[in-house]
Amino acid sequence: MRLVSCARCHTQFDLSRFHGAGFDCYCGARVQSQVPQYQEVPVERCSSCGASIGQDAAECPFCRSAVVTDERRRSLICPDCCARNVDGARFCNHCGVPFRPQPIWDEGDRIPCPGCSGKTRPRSISEILVHECGQCEGLWVPLGSLEKLVRKACHALSNQDESPDCSFRTPFPRMVIYRKCPVCKKHMERTNYDHRSGVIIDRCHADGTFLDVDELQAIVAYAYTRDPEQGDPYEDMLGKERMRAESRSAAHLRIMKKQSAEPRTLTGQATSFDFSSIGNLLDHLIDHFR
C-alpha cells in the first residue's frame, strides 16, 4: 500500500492504483498524491492488534504476532507518523493508527441516494464497498455485499469476550414509499429481511439494497441473536426470497398505483462528512476481532 492521509480529517487513501497529482477528500480538502518520507522511529506497537509492546519484543504478548524487523519487508509508510511498516500491517507499529484506506472517487462514482436528495460516496467497511449518504446516513449496498457484511459483523461479535450490545433500536416504521434503485431506476421491492426480522429494507434484485440509518445495526442485531434452528438466513433470503419476489412485486405495483409517494421528512441535516456510526462500529468490530 502507498498511503496518504487528509491533513484535515485524517481519512486515509491508497495511491497504489491512482495516478493523478491530487484529489478531493470526502471532507472537501485537497489531498496531494505524495507518500511522506519515512523516518526511523522505534517499534512500540503490534502491527496486527495495535497493542502497546516493549521496544525489543520479538512477538506481541497479546496476539502472539511476530515483530518484523527486516527493513526490506517494511515498505508501508504510516501517513501520520512516517514510521516504516510491513505492507500488510493493520496498525502502525509506532503510533498505532489503524490502516484503513478509503476509496478515491470522482464525481462519476457518486450514486444518488435513494432515500433523500443527497449524493452518496463510496466507502470501504472491512474491504467491502458500500455507498454512504452524507445527508441521511443511508447505505447503498451493492448486490451480494449485504450478506458478507452481516456475516463479518456476526463473526466479529461472536469473537468478543463480553456479551455484545444488541440493544440497537429497531428503526421507527416509516411511511411506505417505493424508492427507486439508483442504478436501474426501477422501483425497489420492500422486503422483510429474512422474513421475520421486522426490518423492512429496499431491495433491487439486480443491483443491491438500500438501508436507512440504523437498519444495518438492526439487521446485525437480529442475525446475531437469531435462533440457528431456523436455518441459514442468507440461503433463505437468496433462494426463497427470489422466488417470491415476482408475485410480490406484482402486488406492490398495484398498491403503488393507489399510493402517493411523498418524500421522507429528514429529521436532521448532516453538517459534515463524518462517517456514520454503523460504519464505524463495524470497522471497529471487524478490525479487532477478525
Task: Please give the residue ranges that form the binding site for Zn ion (CB under 5 A).
Answer: 6, 8-9, 11, 25, 27, 29, 46, 48-49, 51, 60, 62-63, 65, 78, 80-81, 83, 92, 94-95, 113, 115-116, 118, 133, 135-136, 138, 181, 183-184, 204, 206-207
Alpha-carbon torsion, ordered 34, 40, 42, 48, to 10 deg: 40
Longest dimension (CA), the chain: 72
Nearest approach, Cβ of 226 to Zn ion (angstroms)?
Answer: 28
Instruction: Report the residue number, 207 or 214, with the smaller CB distance to Zn ion.
Output: 207
Q: Which residues contact 268 (CB under 8 A, 6 or more apart)?
A: none
Nearest approach, Cβ of 28 to Zn ion (angstroms)?
Answer: 7
Return the bridge partners of 191, or none.
Answer: 201
Return the bridge partners of 209, or none.
Answer: 141, 203
Instruction: Report the residue number, 61 or 231, with the smaller CB distance to Zn ion.
Output: 61
Q: Is 112 exposed, middle or buried (0-12, 13-18, 19+ CB in 10 A)?
A: middle
DSSP 8-state class, residue 129: E
Nearest approach, Cβ of 16 to Zn ion (angstroms)?
Answer: 18
Nearest approach, Cβ of 2 to Zn ion (angstroms)?
Answer: 15
Instruction: Report the residue number, 113 or 149, with the smaller CB distance to Zn ion.
Output: 113
Nearest approach, Cβ of 8 to Zn ion (angstroms)?
Answer: 5
Q: Cα–chain-centroid distance for residue 276?
A: 9
Instruction: Report the residue number, 152 or 203, with the smaller CB distance to Zn ion.
Output: 203
Instruction: Report the residue number, 64 or 196, with the smaller CB distance to Zn ion.
Output: 64
CB 27 within 8 Å of CB 11: yes
Q: Which residue reads 502507498 in cell numbers?
A: 2
Instruction: Report the residue number, 14 or 223, with the smaller CB distance to Zn ion.
Output: 14
Nearest approach, Cβ of 76 to Zn ion (angstroms)?
Answer: 10
